[in-house]
Amino acid sequence: MAQSDMSPERVRLLDLAQGRGVSLSSLSEMIGRNSAYLQQFIKRGTPKKLEEGDRAKLAQFFGVDESELGVAALPSVKDKSYIDSAPASESTYVEVPRLDIGASAGPGALPVGEESFDAFRFSHRWLAEQGLSGSQLSAIKVEGDSMEPLLNNGDEILVDRSPRPFRDGVHVVRLGETLMVKRVASAGGGRLALLSQNLAYPPVNVEAQDVEIIGRVVWKGGRI
């Protein structure tokens, strides 16, 4: 199928994949399909539309709205003008718990519990714009300086604990009884590299089975 004959959502998905530098086969496997699934969707037009669950996973991965991948567009503002005069309800926001633990960005810190002592409130719209709709989020504090200048001591980070295939990035991990925030990369041979941004801290290579990946760091906040 020539690109000029493709539906807008197929063209958009192909552009997103090429822009991120990921193959259609790897995306297919990420959403739990056989490796040819998205190739057939784009090139052969089968299936005619992505299933809702597949579309949601892809939209979240690319950080785009599901409407770009084929979901019916929401009614226009003109059709929903009553919203303008309606007060914002509690359901407009999502409360993300702030946990009473710290993730070490230094030599190591022991978690003292996972009790929520407060919460951040984020709008559903903002979360959707960040590709985080429906994510299992919690906020914890960074302790130490090994991730500077990316993350500073005292910064609060949002951790997405939603189950998903591992990919390199900044994660909160548990090694033994120590909770850490590190850039985690595959080191081959069933091993992972725990990397610091601060070059004063050397990389740490560990067996993947010895590390529990708590979640991916998706946002940070802190004082200027």
Q: How confident is the model at residue 73 (pLDDT cuts 50, 70, 90)?
A: very low
Q: Model pTM?
A: 0.57
Cβ proximity of 136 and 99 under 8 Å: no
Cα dihedral across residues 143, 148, 154, 158: positive or negative:
negative
Average pLDDT over residues 47-52: 84
The whole-angstrom distance between residue 223's C-alpha and the CA centroid of its chain comes to: 23
Residue 220 pLDDT > 80: yes
Q: How buried is 174 (Cβ within 10 angstroms: 0-12 exposed, 13-18 middle, 19+ buried)?
A: middle
Residue 198 is predicted with a pLDDT of 94
Residue 112 pLDDT > 50: no
Residue 91 is predicted with a pLDDT of 60
Residue 84 pLDDT > 50: no
End-to-end CA distance of the chain: 52
Q: How confident is the model at residue 71 (pLDDT cuts 50, 70, 90)?
A: low
Q: Residue 52 contacts by C-beta under 8 Å, 6 or more apart in sequence? A: 71
The 10s digit of each residue's pLDDT in 125-155 is 899 988 888 889 999 999 999 999 999 999 9
Residue 77 pLDDT > 60: no
The 10s digit of each residue's pLDDT in 154-186 is 999 999 998 888 889 999 999 888 889 999 999
Cβ proximity of 48 and 42 under 8 Å: no
Cβ proximity of 153 and 145 under 8 Å: yes
Cβ proximity of 218 and 140 under 8 Å: no
Domains contained in the chain, CATH given? 3-69 (1.10.260.40), 90-221 (2.10.109.10)
